[in-house]
Structure 1
């Protein structure tokens, strides 16, 4: 029996082949468009760079110059100045330590010498703070000057210099703030004293300065008749710093604040 094909009939294989070819052509077209776009972008970038080559060059030169200036400043100005300030600080610090071993007029005379310097051209704390303000030693000079004035009961000067001292040190930072609180307490400004004692307590959390200044803050709060605040401060010592010197008999202070309300 004869086999024949109907007019217009196409094998399925040819149809699949045609579809694949069409798909391939579309993919090729999309890829070409992407590459064309990349080429256009690259060309535009090259044109922009060529157009702005001089400003770019001068900008790079300026940045490089700033880096070199900074490195030169650090190496030849900042570092020698810091070293000089540290050397100058040694003299008044020795006097400061010596003054702590005396009391009364003898101690005051040594603190004065540490503050003013002048012996054999040596700088005191005041000179170092003024002349080397941008150095670590100059910053420390503010602290020592402030404590010296506090020891001499010159409270306004103590507040001035201690306020100029900036530090994140575990002990020195809180101690400076607490010393300002002491100065305000001694000139009968309890609200300011309370504020600085709380700042000192919150500056760095440790087992020495934190309970000390919490306790001082609580005592000032009692004087101001802010009994609930005092109770809260005492309770914080009990809960977090029971092993500190202030925490040993803290229960009686808590009761004192509680029954005063």
Structure 2
């Protein structure tokens, strides 16, 4: 415990005098060490001043460059890409709603027409934009409708979205494409990703059911039963939930 020493204090004996001298000596050494450390730091800064300034300047240039790129390149590019996407998406929507001319309309959506970009050109010319990302999804869906499942998988796998429904649909449609290619293991993998993407009463029971049916095909009966029971317990009021007892009974009989 430290003690307060009055002004003019003198050690009572030699032992206390020696202790006091040791204390002063230790304190001096500490300050000398700190001074030496500070001096070395100053010397290092002086020696490397140009490099330090260079790094700071480089960081400032990178930051400024990104801001300028975003303002003068990326944002105008987003607007331009969205304008191009409007026409391609119109062809896509017309194909979805058409009853007799789907194939040609989906091809127009993919390839473009009348000097306007199609989905494939938007993906290539406007990489990194939101429009190009959405074009990946639309292109994937167009290829599914055209029966070109490998191309569909390629585009849908490149699509990224945190949206509760659209993100799940992208994964689920990859599962559908693998199912059409007679690859049930891969289909099941993506159905699981689809129903786990977001818990809701639309996509979750839909892909739980597809996962269960695919698991039955793979003779994974316990897994299939688990998917079906999850629909009954958590999504009983969904469209899939209305007939889920039939699938539960089928899975139980096949075990």
Distance apart, 1:231 and its partner CA: 0.7
Q: Matched residues in 1 for 2:63 and 2:39: separation?
A: 33
Distance apart, 1:217 and its partner CA: 1.0
Of residues 65, 70, 77 in structure 1, which corresponds to 2:66? 70
Matched, 1:48 2:44: yes
Alignment RMSD (CA, Å): 2.2
Of residues 179, 183, 187 in structure 1, which corresponds to 2:177? 183
Map Cα deviations across residues 179-203 of structure 1 (whole Å, 9 max, x no partner).
1111222233222222221221222
Q: Equivalent residue of 1:67, what SS?
A: helix
Map Cα deviations across residues 62-106 of structure 1 (whole Å, 9 max, x no partner).
222222222222221122112211121111112222222222x41
- TM-score norm. by structure 2 comes to 0.87
Q: Matched residues in 2 for 1:152 and 1:59: separation?
A: 54
Matched residue pairs, number? Answer: 246
Distance apart, 1:23 and its partner CA: 4.8
Map Cα deviations across residues 122-167 of structure 1 (whole Å, 9 max, x no partner).
1111111111121111011010011112123232222222122122
Unpaired runs of 5+ residues, structure 2, are 1-8
Matched, 1:151 2:120: no
Unpaired runs of 5+ residues, structure 1, are 1-13
- TM-score norm. by structure 1 comes to 0.85
Matched, 1:108 2:103: yes
Name the stretch that deviates more: 83-92 or 236-245: 236-245
Q: Matched residues in 1 for 2:55 and 2:10: separation?
A: 62
Q: Matched residues in 1 for 2:31 and 2:53: separation?
A: 30
Q: Matched residues in 2 for 1:24 and 1:172: separation?
A: 78
Match of 2:165 in 1: 171
Distance apart, 1:241 and its partner CA: 2.3
Distance apart, 1:28 and its partner CA: 3.2
Match of 2:195 in 1: 201
Match of 1:11 in 2: none
Match of 2:3 in 1: none
